[in-house]
Structure 1
């Protein structure tokens, strides 16, 4: 009996390690994929210019929304149904689940491909930019492949094998970037019009889907040959209609929750070009300004990506504490997550706002639009808090609360765009974004306060704000001083190289200043820092020698 107990504990430990390993693999793959997907926008703007950059940023959120509808939450449903049947040893039923789901995904992919391809001119009219039609048609072909790939990924995740998903995601993004840059260079050299060049950029998603699909097919064929899971229990065959009904019943709420963020992003796509044109700009001029407006978004997304990686661990952690009725653990984890997000997000937002000009020149060749970056920088901390607080609410079971709050933010963004863009142009849209994300952030925190009794007062901002004030002073002083130095001494440097050097040196000095101030003000503790891998052995002794901690 004792031996059986020990075996059970050993098996549970092995399963736990396997789950953690799988989550880590997916987390790393997601970060690498998002990094590639975000950073690809910089060469896109550098090679093709702001007009093409604007068209791309108008079309891509539309594609993401349609893709979310085309997959309809089915990959998560597939992983759940496959996992349940695999536990019973019913591999043939697990594969039958995948076949049925694949047919559903195939039909949805065809339907939404047709909607996007044959409706391209209509969508371009809705956006207010006729030249975007070619890019919409180009990216629509990805819908013939991506739903199928998503289904296979769900299948392998149901088998607790995260490697195929991770590898295919990274390969997909890599080939997407390679194809996009290659076509951009080729089309611009041939002198094609802006709409065609943008279509070349969006076709990168199709090339990435092909590469990702081939990786998944490889793993599918290999799994079929080496799978050791056998049908140890005769399966009870449900009708196909019954399984599909269960799919949709489980997947549709997930789909509805997933489309909210793309809808918020699409607000700018369907309002800004028309509003800019109504102010007397040509289609080309409107897209040029829309491209400039999007300069800051890759940087904001990189900052929010850190919060997203944190949220992966938050949902199961909070859910476990709730299941065990550990209210103190819930409050402690909530407070710690919010505090660390504030510390990272506030510094990143204020730093980006202060260094907007050299960063804009470094990444996008000119200073044009740096004021917009300095405004939209503050969506970084707000979107980070949204991600983390939304994840905590989901872990607590309040799944629809973040969805509702983002929908309110989307409506507010529409209203504010209509009011502010005609008056302030793209700066008005940036102000609207900050207010809308701020509203969603406040509503999420309010819901958390009701759910966990974690009041806003627990998020200690006084000391971090002092540290940020000193950091911004150092950052601004460094930029001014270094610009004067380079202008008077290194006179042969190009403007872009000069601002790149100024930006990088100033940001490093500001980051060191912020970290030192946090330590001196005791805004972060030794326990906080010990959560960082490798900190205790490599960094802590150095900090203690400097008597900073």
Structure 2
């Protein structure tokens, strides 16, 4: 029997699934560096980026909207309307998926000419069929979330990633073993998304069959079975109007990261042709898309997951006009992302050379890894302030701010890429994240005054800068000491020592400089409060 999940349990399930899916996605990128050359890597990464962008445009925000609509109808005792909404959502997903799949397949040759990367054509056409199913899967996940059955979406995400990796990498090994070359190898890995979509849909169909039987059993056992529902005649037009009104702002903000990567991948050769030779550009693009983009996805995971769990509290307090609670929770969520997101980004920035060398074939491209992961600090704050504005019932503001940020990203990249190469593109992305964050914070402060760290900003900066410098020195020293070791062992030792130095010093300075106070720790969510209490307790005992 399928049971409804509580808010806490549902949040934990979705967070665990998202963490697992993101980490599995990283493991799909690592073999690319060993299996494919620069052209093959660029081909797969371009196809995957465009696929994710189109998927975000087609579904971003809509499943969440559907879950709210479904939940509301069941709460009001109108399950017939909920099923009508679900039917409309499935129809929208099926039509959208078909149109996107056909468009992606048909326009692949044109994209190859625009990007000056002809290798991408086959990969784009290989991944296109996945778009047939994923919009429908996204709508189904929204329906199950509305029914408070979070396990369906969580399990389907994990199965999707596992089959994506096994299917794509396995097929690529066969194709490359036959000697078909990197172009076909990249396309084979891209087909992994098709395997993933089939697996995810199979999971959702299994849950759907169980839920249908359960609903039928509950209706049969109800004392009102004599009353037969005629079904809702709610017009699809009204349903779509409600869906799009609520979800369009979320779609725009959700596509920010994917649009940034799509822009960089698509115009890399054109914007950097005066800075790199064609051969060097292919190598730099492969490093950027395979290594930097993959590692840059790590720092936001924990911070966003922890921050997102507090957003419903902000929304609830705002609906009751309890502005003091809104201020407290908004400040708290920003404090959490500062304390949790920064150290991970800091470590990956400082130890970029060792981490890149450890995970991938060579440490080449570690400069791009360092700069892009450093920029994720602003990506985290952008996404968190977006969520706060949603909690304040103002979704159009982050949408408008996103348009401004993306416009500046395009302008900065066009100006800087010919002068700085890949670093110009990354700086342009960071400008986008910073500007959106500042615009969001200004609007939040119009409602409630954020008090993130107050007078503790200078000690906090010291707690960031000192571990960064110490970590850089530790990595440099360990690489020198282990120079005669095997490469992977040397990189592992350097990364491990750097992690201990950066992490240890960061925690010690947060406590010693009183950046994190006992009051802060007590206000954090349980999963974060318990480990921090254990770590920081000795320092506070000494201080007292």
What TM-score, normalized to structure 2? 0.89
* Counterpart selection for 1:141 from 122, 129, 135: 129
The 5-angstrom pairing of residues 404-443 of structure 1 reads: 404-443=400-439
Asked whether the equivalents of residues 162 and 196 of structure 2 are also in contact (C-alpha less than 8 Å), the reply is: yes
Please list the CA deviations of residues 304-348 of structure 1 after superposition, one character each: whole Å capped at 9, or x if unmatched: 112220232232111111122222222222222222322333333
Cα displacement (A) at 1:241: 4.6
* Counterpart selection for 1:521 from 499, 513, 517: 513
* Counterpart selection for 1:324 from 320, 324, 331: 320
* Counterpart selection for 1:51 from 39, 46, 54: 39
> Counterpart in 2 of 1:106?
94
Please list the CA deviations of residues 71-122 of structure 1 after superposition, one character each: whole Å capped at 9, or x if unmatched: 3754334323433433344444433332332222211111111110111111
CA distance in 2, matches of 1:325, 1:164: 35
Asked whether the equivalents of residues 406 and 440 of structure 1 are also in contact (C-alpha less than 8 Å), the reply is: yes
Question: Closer, same or farther in 2 for the Cα pair 1:508/1:425, shift >3 Å?
Answer: same
> Counterpart in 2 of 1:498?
490
CA distance in 2, matches of 1:100, 1:343: 43
Q: What SS does structure 2 have at the residue aligned with 1:469?
A: helix
Cα displacement (A) at 1:537: 7.1
In the alignment, does 2:122 pair up with 1:131? no
The 5-angstrom pairing of residues 301-450 of structure 1 reads: 301-450=297-446
> Counterpart in 1 of 2:160?
172
Cα displacement (A) at 1:297: 2.3
Asked whether the equivalents of residues 409 and 439 of structure 1 are also in contact (C-alpha less than 8 Å), the reply is: yes
CA distance in 1, matches of 2:521, 2:37: 42
CA distance in 1, matches of 2:190, 2:58: 18
In the alignment, does 2:278 pair up with 1:290? no
RMSD between aligned alpha carbons?
Answer: 2.7
In the alignment, does 2:461 pair up with 1:465? yes
Corresponding residue pairs, total = 530
The 5-angstrom pairing of residues 29-108 of structure 1 reads: 29-71=17-59, 73-108=61-96
Cα displacement (A) at 1:218: 0.8
Question: Closer, same or farther in 2 for the Cα pair 1:257/1:365, shift >3 Å?
Answer: closer
Question: Closer, same or farther in 2 for the Cα pair 1:459/1:224, shift >3 Å?
Answer: farther
CA distance in 1, matches of 2:460, 2:480: 30
Asked whether the equivalents of residues 55 and 287 of structure 1 are also in contact (C-alpha less than 8 Å), the reply is: no
> Counterpart in 1 of 2:170?
182
Deviates more, 1:242-251 or 1:332-341: 242-251
5+ residue gaps, structure 1, are 1-13
Please list the CA deviations of residues 484-538 of structure 1 after superposition, one character each: whole Å capped at 9, or x if unmatched: 3223xxx3x2223212211112211221111111111111122333536478877
Q: Which structure 1 residue ranges, 4+ long, deviate > 6 Å from structure 2?
A: 534-539
> Counterpart in 2 of 1:6?
none
Please list the CA deviations of residues 210-231 of structure 1 after superposition, one character each: whole Å capped at 9, or x if unmatched: 0000011111111122224539
Q: What SS does structure 2 have at the residue aligned with 1:130?
A: coil
* Counterpart selection for 2:481 from 482, 485, 494: 485
CA distance in 1, matches of 2:362, 2:38: 11
Question: Closer, same or farther in 2 for the Cα pair 1:377/1:310, shift >3 Å?
Answer: same
5+ residue gaps, structure 2, are none
Question: Closer, same or farther in 2 for the Cα pair 1:344/1:252, shift >3 Å?
Answer: closer
What TM-score, normalized to structure 1? 0.88
Q: What SS does structure 2 have at the residue aligned with 1:191?
A: coil
Cα displacement (A) at 1:279: 4.8
* Counterpart selection for 2:179 from 191, 213, 216: 191
In the alignment, does 2:138 pair up with 1:150? yes
Question: Closer, same or farther in 2 for the Cα pair 1:132/1:517, shift >3 Å?
Answer: same
